[in-house]
Structure 1
């Protein structure tokens, strides 16, 4: 009977959830359950209890599918290992020598000795060691582990500070890793298994900069990754909520716009629709739904607005480059791990973009509207990159709020007819000119016929 019922269910049907919320939260389990409910309804998550800080590895299930196997190298460092998970790999030995140089440079830039830096990191080394999976740091004494953390942290902070500003020393350092090796550091810094606890970075960052200046350094680097430029788009308080676990978590918070529209928080929501895809960019345009770039003041990365006879799908501007695929995959992997924020904001964004970008014309439309910037070889490479992403789960509330807005616009007969009329007859300058010429001929013929038939006085 159950099998028969499931076979009759169509994609358009709703799966109903009735979730009682009257029971008070008295323990950690109920707190986690309430957070899941809040996630479904679009409310703020991760505030009801303190999460366990663990430096997770890529979930094995992500690597079992065909796409997962093809993408497996995107989770492994290409140039530099950070933390214990990939430490002492022979292929990454050259970067270990380079870390000694960056250690001396960072020490010199702070005006403190290396011993002072070592002692400051040693004060938090116990907390840092606890962040890693049990057994992964057993082979390192406190002294060895502290040295690893110090060298890795100085390497990261020096790169973050100098890269967006085009610092002369950054480009001179190409001689140590080579141009192609140095270009891959941005990628390696944001791999899930290549992280060090932020508590270590924070100690050294605070030593060199006051808090506001330190946040500005992080802002510039994240802005460089997001928009492909040094110019600041908007000041964001990257450390506003709580100390992040690691750099990848902090970048994820920067990538998404954490504030959500108030109307979404209070809207009644007791169903989850199946994970159906959006139409592509060109299909949406044919329905008179246009993609627009969000303003610098916007607090939302994705938003749909419906007007009289058309709609606007607002998207934040992003830059795509050769290392974008690896960074996106690692942010997805981070969201799939236990004890991580379960709002799935990055996964949802990438799932939406996968639906929007199906062909070269879709990429060109995004480029034309200044939503997408890319430095890949061709527009087809962008299509291929998004096709290679595998997104196991999304935030259904966010995903369906966008999709339902589009569907509601399409269900309006008046708006659909207007959109079809404009698309068919005014979709391009040539169509518009042809329509005007045809209209002029029709009017002229009518006038001539009327004049011929009208009796003269």
Structure 2
């Protein structure tokens, strides 16, 4: 006979706690899980949809598997904000940030005659006072591991460093005084416009208001963005920028254009856009022109005398090593799920990618002074736009009128025949001379024939009629 098993006190407590597999515990656990799921559903429904000011967050999961994720989305020399803070490879960048922040603090005007320590404490307290609102500018996931004091000090250093860097960038000799080399300056500029490297513009405003150089700092931001975009900053939107990347986007796009609505093609025609690149447009007689304004929305199509040839006007753009990261982060910003926008950058890149397939397309854009190539070969530029233009979902309304006008022109056989005629006979000085030579030969032949057939009588004719003895 087997001995009886006596349940110990510990075993009894473990069963009561749910460690055992009692049938009485299962309904309770199921009910708890059910209530948790219901609560999650209610919370999701209570959250607002997309808004104009998106929270600072990580790059969306759809882009995290990109072949060049590190190259396009991770900082090169310095981490800014909480997402990449504390990583070992940015230790040198932290030293540069502290150096820049120290220079900024010297421009504070908290109380004249106060020590530097007092100025730092005064500004730090101002940030601590606003820390709740500043934390709300970030997604909860990226700040939850930092307490208020740690986050406030991080934002204090990063905000001061950003403003001092921009001030030095518009007064370039200032970097020499700080012993910061040109390569670090260039890479830091690229880091300022990464989605995961942003701080709230609200923070920058708070810091600028605390400096006796407030006006100079604000003007330096305007000059800095103007140098990056080659555009004049204009008050486009009434709202304050979310961060520097947001300010870059609104400056590049410019204000929305009001264009007259034209006749549309049937929406059930899936193949309405049949042209493929610049070379095909060129064969149809469409020429490239530089737009008068640099806004990326400023794309238009016109016809000479409303007939022939057609002109596609595009804003000028400079392509260099920073172009890929800059546009990829702007695209990632537009893809943030909580950001309500018109996908202006994505639509522009998609449209430009539709025009560029090969090196010859880039060459023609260069010759028209639309594209300034500082990257390398024309093929490298073509590869770049083909890469960043992959898997984009542009706005269906962006450049819609221009696309329809181009297609209507492209579908007209007369335009194609005229383009081929001018290409065959006027594409080079030699073909022009040959064509003029043929016309001259035909004119001489016609003149000779006319004189032979219909020439007036002359004394020579009467002499020829005389009969010799």
What is the TM-score normalised by the length of structure 1?
0.79
Give the Cα separation in 1 of the matches to 2:150 and 2:251. Answer: 32
Structure having the higher Rg: 2
**2:438 pairs with 1:438:** yes
Cα displacement string for residues 362-416 of structure 1 (whole angstroms, at most 9, x for unaligned residues) = 2232223222223223323212211221242001111432221101112334433
Q: Which residue of 1 aligns with 2:345?
A: 346
Structure 1 residues 144 and 63: CA distance shift in structure 2, 3 A: closer
CA distance in 1, matches of 2:72, 2:155: 23
Q: Call closer, same or farther: CA 1:171–1:237 in 2, change over 3 Å.
A: farther
1:169-221 Cα deviation digits (max 9, x unpaired): 22444x45x44333111111111111111111121234448987665433321
- 2:416 corresponding residue in structure 1: 416
Over aligned residues, Cα RMSD in angstroms?
Answer: 3.0
> Deviation per CA, 1:203-260, whole angstroms, max 9, x where unpaired?
1234448987665433321221123xxxxx535125x320122211111111102222
1:100 alignment counterpart: 98
Deviates more, 1:123-132 or 1:291-300: 291-300
2:284 to 271, 276, 287: 287
Aligned to 2:244: 247
Q: Normalising by the residue count of structure 2, what TM-score does the alignment of the two structures yield?
A: 0.77
Q: For residues 157-176 of structure 1, what are the structure 2 equivalents within 5 Å? A: 157-163=163-169, 165-173=170-178, 175-176=179-180
- Residue 319 of structure 2 contacts residue 373 of structure 2 at CA under 8 Å; is this kept in 1? yes
Equivalent pairs, count: 400
Measure the CA separation in 1 of the matches of 2:242 and 2:317. 24
Q: Could you say if the C-alpha distance between residues 259 and 392 of structure 1 is closer, same or farther in structure 2, counting changes exceeding 3 Å?
A: closer
Q: Deviations over 1:41-89 (max 9, x none)?
A: xxxxxxxx8546311321222234xxx2234431111111111111111
> What displacement does 1:328 show?
0.6
Structure 1 gap ranges (5+)? 1-27, 33-48, 228-232
Which residue of 2 is the match for residue 39 of structure 1?
A: none
Aligned-pair CA distance for 1:348: 0.9
Q: Which aligned pairs between 1:302-341 and structure 2 lie closer than 5 A?
A: 302-306=299-303, 307-341=306-340
1:136 aligns with 2:134: no
1:403-435 CA-to-partner distances (Å, cap 9, x unmatched) read 211011123344333333222221233322222
Is the 1:289–1:313 contact (alpha carbons within 8 Å) kept by the matching residues of 2? yes
Deviation at 1:272, TM superposition (A): 7.9
**1:136-174 per-position Cα deviation (integer Å, ceiling 9, x unaligned):** 2122221110111111112212222331x342122444x
2-side partners of 1:430 and 1:309: how far apart?
23
Whole-angstrom distance in 2 between the partners of 1:278 and 1:257: 28
Asked whether the equivalents of residues 294 and 316 of structure 2 are also in contact (C-alpha less than 8 Å), the reply is no
What is the aligned partner in structure 1 of residue 404 from structure 2?
Answer: 404
1:145 equivalent in structure 2 = 151
- Conservation of the 8 A alpha-carbon contact between 2:356 and 2:385: yes
